[in-house]
Structure 1
Amino acid sequence: MGLAPLIGMMLCGVIMRNPVGFNMVFYTGSALLLVGVILAFLLPRTEAKGKAESIDFKKIGVVAARKANIASYAAIFSQWFMMGVITVLLPSYMVDLGMTAFHVAMVMVATTAACVAFNYPAGLLSDKVGRKIPSIMGLALLVIAINLIPVATSFEELIGLGILLGVGMGCILPPVLALISDNTEKGERGTAMGIFHALITLGVAVGAPVTGVLASEVGSSLAIHLSTLIPMAAIIAVLVLVKAGLPQREVIVGGENE
């Protein structure tokens, strides 16, 4: 999730500086998707063993209801909700300042690069001090960076905020993902990760249209500020539901760590 958008945004920024502009971006994306389809057909075939299991909603509910998992899900949803906000409002805000699609792409590159750079240190920190501190730190930086966007008026300021935003995002993913591992058994992790990744998609899918509608009613600046209520709520969830200190597993009835 880190290198792919980083490379994609850099390519888009470079391509859009040329006369071919937007058309070439879509042609390039389509060509890459076609390559992916061809490679998928070349994958070795494997025969399915046994019958496909039906969805176990009870198991999903049990996994999702654990306190630490709730905090993890709230944090990752809020992160990608804010990505939806940025996707909708940042380009129009920058265009209003007289900037181009290239400038938008470069801010997003700065954000993604900072996110990638801080993933590993955040993971190390979460193993040293626990999941709570880096999670809260990342969410707090997210709130600060987003709230400062409406007061930024230059490309350099927006690049700086993009980096700050990326640092925050980079600090969130490793500890909240580790929380899932800390509080699930082997037979549950596929379910837990499925919920986790579904919330990534849901965050963007909800954040973008909700903020777009909100911006049309109250204006972009206020919509940006109001959107940070979501990561603020996630901070409260982490504060209340995640234990301080080194990783501790919840008591799982019937599990290995009961």
Structure 2
Amino acid sequence: MALVVWSVLVSQVLLYPGLAETVAALGGGTGILARSQFLIAEFGALVAFAVVWGAVSDAVGARRPLIVLGAGGGAASYLLVAASPTLGLGFGAVLGLRVVGGAFVVGAFSLAITTLMDLGGGNGRNMGAAGTAIGLGAALGSVVGGRLATADPLAPLYGGAVLLVGAGLLAATVPDRVDGGGLPVGEVGERLRSRPTLLVPYAFGYVDRLTAGFFALTGVAYLRDTFGIDATVAGGALALFFLPFAALQYPVGSLSDRVGRFLPVVVGSIAYGLGIVAVALAPTFVTAAALLVVVGVCGAFVSPTTMALVTDVTPPAERGTAMGGFNVFGSLGMLSGFLVGGVVTAVAGYWPAFLVAGGLEVAIALVASGAVRRIATGSTPRPPTSADRGD
């Protein structure tokens, strides 16, 4: 299932390094706001449908067929977007297809992570596996996507479709281990309101994904405009962030099972936010690239432990809905990152945009530190037992 998560992330991140060329080839023009619209269309659907997929999977007691359906629908949407110039479709139709694609893709992504939540052996370890898959997928997608876009601006879309087909085929081989009686779709909102502690990891997830959306759009544009690099080099620069981000996810998640979630979440978020601001102060591309490595290390302490907090406070029968809610907030964060980056950059420039994104990460850590401590103290994770490891 980690490989399924990885495949979905690669399919999305393939588009980021050469986004300017891809959007122009699809009839969207060359401005940063058109690129924002292209990304927002998909992530708006992620917000709308993440909890729906989770609730349905909890209610029917199955994840696998829904993951296959989500991956297949996402692949079809990528192929239609890539074919839109040949079909004579305008940019408005492309945005509509992106909405449909997002509605499907979020099912594959969210339920693949939920399947990892269903396993025993330590919530931090399992979410570390998910975080590693996310980071490695983003790293590979950055490098390969830049090269593909340099050769053909529509090639990342075809590559994404192939990966989503592979994700669906792979998910079809994995048995379901859904634990619990299920959660009816109509009770989603009520159950989320009944567990206000979920709002703490949700808030961190929102801001963390905001920074991810910021880097996907504004970070790439900043590197290309400021240092005059092409899509291939920009993809390599993003990989400098994602590789350490991926490599440390699993060990940090496992470590948090033993020492607790507080320090990785709160201290990691503060360091992460300060690192983001520092990137915009880099005088040279080499310095900026080195800072991206530092930012990736800091981010690795936040992602798996935040997802593990969701599992810590959620009964097994409601995990699909809980992770769906987490992905709703995360997708809202990505949307906000696109908007903050695009709008603030257009109005005030890159430096204020980086300051806003990094400042929000520091602010959430300071404001929510007490709540994180209370949750971590009340649900102190135990080391996995031999029975857990046998699951």
Cα displacement (A) at 1:115:
0.9
Residue type at the aligned position of 2:148? I
The answer for the alignment partner of 2:76 in structure 1 is none
TM-score calculated relative to the size of structure 1: 0.81
Cα displacement (A) at 1:71:
2.2
Cα displacement (A) at 1:31:
4.1
The answer for the alignment partner of 1:12 in structure 2 is 145
The answer for the alignment partner of 2:21 in structure 1 is none
- Asked if structure 2 preserves the Cα contact closer than 8 Å seen for 1:16 and 1:22, the reply is yes
The answer for the alignment partner of 1:170 in structure 2 is 300
The answer for the alignment partner of 2:206 in structure 1 is 77
The answer for the alignment partner of 2:223 in structure 1 is 94
Residue type at the aligned position of 2:256? S
Cα displacement (A) at 1:194:
1.4
Q: Give RMSD over aligned pairs.
A: 3.0
Cα displacement (A) at 1:21:
4.1
The answer for the alignment partner of 1:115 in structure 2 is 245
- Asked if structure 1 preserves the Cα contact closer than 8 Å seen for 2:143 and 2:232, the reply is no
Going by fraction, where is helix more abundant, 1 or 2? 2
Q: 2:194 aligns with which of 55, 58, 62?
A: 62
Higher mean C-alpha deviation, range 112-121 or range 24-33: 24-33
The answer for the alignment partner of 1:255 in structure 2 is none
| 1:125 matched to 2:258 | no
Cα displacement (A) at 1:154:
2.5
- Asked if structure 1 preserves the Cα contact closer than 8 Å seen for 2:269 and 2:362, the reply is yes
- Asked if structure 1 preserves the Cα contact closer than 8 Å seen for 2:340 and 2:353, the reply is no
The answer for the alignment partner of 2:51 in structure 1 is none
Cα displacement (A) at 1:191:
2.2
The answer for the alignment partner of 2:266 in structure 1 is 136
Structure 2 vs 1, CA of residues 52 and 183 (structure 1 numbering), >3 Å: closer, same or farther? Answer: closer
For 1:1-258, list aligned pairs within 5 A. 1-16=134-149, 20-33=151-164, 39=169, 53-56=184-187, 57-63=189-195, 65-66=196-197, 69-96=198-225, 97-243=227-373, 247-249=377-379
Structure 2 vs 1, CA of residues 16 and 238 (structure 1 numbering), >3 Å: closer, same or farther? Answer: same
Residue type at the aligned position of 2:231? A
Residue segments in structure 1 that go unaligned for 5+ positions in a row: 251-258
TM-score calculated relative to the size of structure 2: 0.55
Cα displacement (A) at 1:195:
0.9
Residue segments in structure 2 that go unaligned for 5+ positions in a row: 1-133, 381-391
| Whole-Å separation in 2 of the counterparts to 1:30 and 1:120 | 28
- Asked if structure 2 preserves the Cα contact closer than 8 Å seen for 1:110 and 1:163, the reply is yes
Cα displacement (A) at 1:105:
0.4
What's the CA shift string for 1:168-226, capped at 9, x where partnerless? 22111221122122222223322221111222211111211132111111111111102
Cα displacement (A) at 1:86:
1.1
Structure 2 vs 1, CA of residues 2 and 91 (structure 1 numbering), >3 Å: closer, same or farther? Answer: closer
- Asked if structure 2 preserves the Cα contact closer than 8 Å seen for 1:90 and 1:104, the reply is no
Structure 2 vs 1, CA of residues 24 and 240 (structure 1 numbering), >3 Å: closer, same or farther? Answer: same
Higher mean C-alpha deviation, range 215-224 or range 186-195: 186-195
Structure 2 vs 1, CA of residues 51 and 228 (structure 1 numbering), >3 Å: closer, same or farther? Answer: closer
Structure 1 runs of 4+ aligned residues shifted over 4 Å read 33-37, 40-44, 244-247
